[in-house]
Amino acid sequence: MVKPLDICILAAGKGSRMRSSTPKVLQPLAGKPLLGHLLDTADALQPHQIHVVVGPDDTELQAAYATRDNINWVVQADRLGTGHAVMQAAPFFSGEGPVLIMLGDAPLIRLNTLKKMLATPADLVVLSVQLDDPTGYGRIKRNGKGEVMAIVEDKDADDVTRQIQEINSGVMLSAAGLIKPWLGQLDNQNKQQEYYLTDMIAVAARQHHRVDTVMADDRMEVAGVNDFIQLAELERSYQQSQAAAFMAQGMHIVDPARFDVRGQVSFGKDVRVDINVIFEGEVTLGDGVNIGPNCVIKDSQIGAASIIKANSVIDGAVVSEACSVGPFARLRPGAYLHNEAAVGNFVEVKKSTLGKGSKASHLSYLGDSMIGENVNIGAGTITCNYDGVSKWQTQIGDDVFVGSNTALVAPVSLAEGVTVAAGSTITTDVPADNLAVGRGRQRNIPNWHKPAKTLKED
């Protein structure tokens, strides 16, 4: 029988190099906290429990994952090093079985790599990687036979050791029954006066335990985030590999270096995405969708053959098929465009439905409204949906024509076929096929004398 797996994630470090009030492991990578990436990968291994070591003030962290019930939060009162951190978690390990240790600030570790480690028959498995520039990392020290003897931290390494390019990723696998006694033999006699987890390797090797390494193929997989420069590097690398995967599935991305997905995107055939587009949350793009530059699309569905023009911001909206949105349009939560609807520049739509073929082409606010089919909303039309206390609905029937610069004071309804004269303020319901004129009549005053300039006296 396979013994239950415990996972231990170290996340109590202060993250002082970020100079941020947000805990380091809550900093977002592709829209998800660093810790969230690790937890999702950890979940896929179906562990018995995930122990997360946090600092005493990290209540924000626990609150962020309050709904998860497989996390055992372990508080490390004094941050005395990675070895000390594991010592705090060790009493909670479920038995003598396997324990996988990961660092909270190295989020891109792959499931396959972890599986490779779990399949390695050794007493202690360390995930290592070969780096051109190993500065800052612990070095893997081997003897003449190539056996791992120790990990030496950068700060404690001599010049010869510093030349070693194989580094410790921080991910380790061993058994609780071995880790616990090894931890008891650590001390803090080093440059940082910390209990290093990495010193466990020398202890194990001295006791002739079999220490082995698994090499990660990709250095980004083990890259740690200590400051915003490294976070930005990791973000770009993550986004580029996401873009590459999408392109391989047939998405036409104009420039993969200017493409960001902070969530999940599913898409059909012949989707084209111009530069600087950001996707957030859950986004679905139908066949032939075309997205112009500088758009932000969050938690929305864009139907087949719809076009989203430059600089549009879409959040919580449904855009059906063959619609046109933008340039400079804003669809807010609850915006629902039926097929062939069009929303043009400087139009804001909130909690409103536009029926098939209806158009609001310029400069409008449509909020809390139900708009039928083939309706034309003239430039400058505003649904006055808010009286300072409550929000009210506007109903507009099929084939209505709303002239420019109209204020529709809700609650109000325009029945089918209504025409509203430009510049109207509509405060009462309009019956079907009526023309509504709600404005002062124009007067022309002949022979008007323009005011003349008078000389100012000083």
Sketch the per residue contact string, 62 through 101, with Ca ion: x for CB under 5 A, - otherwise.
----------------------------------------
Sketch the per residue contact string, 105 through 144, with ligand UD1: x for CB under 6 A, - otherwise.
xx------------------------------xx------
Does residue 336 belong to the site contacting ligand UD1 (CB under 6 A)? Answer: no
Residue 197 binding result from Ca ion, ligand UD1, none, given CB thresholds of 5 to 8 Å by partner type? ligand UD1
* Stretch binding ligand UD1 (CB under 6 A), from 6-14, 203-211, 368-376, 442-450: 6-14
* Pairwise CA distance, residues 393 & 63, whole Å: 38
Are residues 365 and 335 in contact, defined by beta-carbon separation less than 8 angstroms? Answer: no
Q: Hey, which residues between 412 and 451 contact ligand UD1 (CB under 6 A)?
A: none
Which of 29, 90, 197, 291 touches ligand UD1 by CB under 6 A? 197
Choice between 12 and 125, CB closer to ligand UD1 = 12
Choice between 78 and 147, CB closer to ligand UD1 = 78
The alpha carbon dihedral of 419, 363, 384, 443 has a sign of negative
Sketch the per residue contact string, 45 through 84, with ligand UD1: x for CB under 6 A, - otherwise.
--------x----------------------x--xxxx-x
**Which position's Cβ is nearest Ca ion?**
224
**Which position's Cβ is nearest ligand UD1?**
138
* Look-up of token digits 């994952």: 65
Which of 33, 47, 98, 104 touches ligand UD1 by CB under 6 A? 104
Residue 292 binding result from ligand UD1, Ca ion, none, given CB thresholds of 5 to 8 Å by partner type? none
Task: State the nearest-atom distance from the C-beta of 136 to Ca ion, in Å.
Answer: 8
CB atoms inside a 10 Å sphere around CB 150: 21
* Stretch binding ligand UD1 (CB under 6 A), from 167-175, 237-245, 295-303, 402-410: 167-175
Q: What angle do CA 228, 232, 234 make, to 5 degrees?
A: 115
Are residues 34 and 25 in contact, defined by beta-carbon separation less than 8 angstroms? Answer: yes
Which of 224, 281, 334, 411 touches Ca ion by CB under 5 A? 224
Are residues 355 and 374 in contact, defined by beta-carbon separation less than 8 angstroms? Answer: yes
Residue 140 binding result from Ca ion, ligand UD1, none, given CB thresholds of 5 to 8 Å by partner type? none
Choice between 108 and 377, CB closer to ligand UD1 = 108
Q: Hey, what amino acid is at 2?
A: V
Residue 151 binding result from ligand UD1, Ca ion, none, given CB thresholds of 5 to 8 Å by partner type? ligand UD1
Choice between 106 and 314, CB closer to ligand UD1 = 106
* Stretch binding Ca ion (CB under 5 A), from 18-26, 221-229, 286-294, 379-387: 221-229
* Pairwise CA distance, residues 432 & 427, whole Å: 16
Which of 27, 113, 168, 385 touches ligand UD1 by CB under 6 A? 168
Residue 12 binding result from ligand UD1, Ca ion, none, given CB thresholds of 5 to 8 Å by partner type? ligand UD1
Residue 98 binding result from ligand UD1, Ca ion, none, given CB thresholds of 5 to 8 Å by partner type? none
The count of residues in the chain is: 458
* Pairwise CA distance, residues 429 & 67, whole Å: 48
Catalytic residue numbers read 362
Task: State the nearest-atom distance from the C-beta of 48 to ligand UD1, in Å.
Answer: 21
192 HSE (CA, 13 A, CB side): 16
Choice between 34 and 371, CB closer to Ca ion = 34
Choice between 10 and 412, CB closer to ligand UD1 = 10
- How many residues bind Ca ion (CB under 5 A)? The answer is 2
Task: State the nearest-atom distance from the C-beta of 305 to Ca ion, in Å.
Answer: 48
Residues lying near ligand UD1 in the complex (CB under 6 A): 10-13, 53, 76, 79-82, 84-85, 103-106, 137-138, 151, 153, 167-170, 196-198, 224, 226
Contacts with Ca ion, residue ranges (CB under 5 A): 105, 224
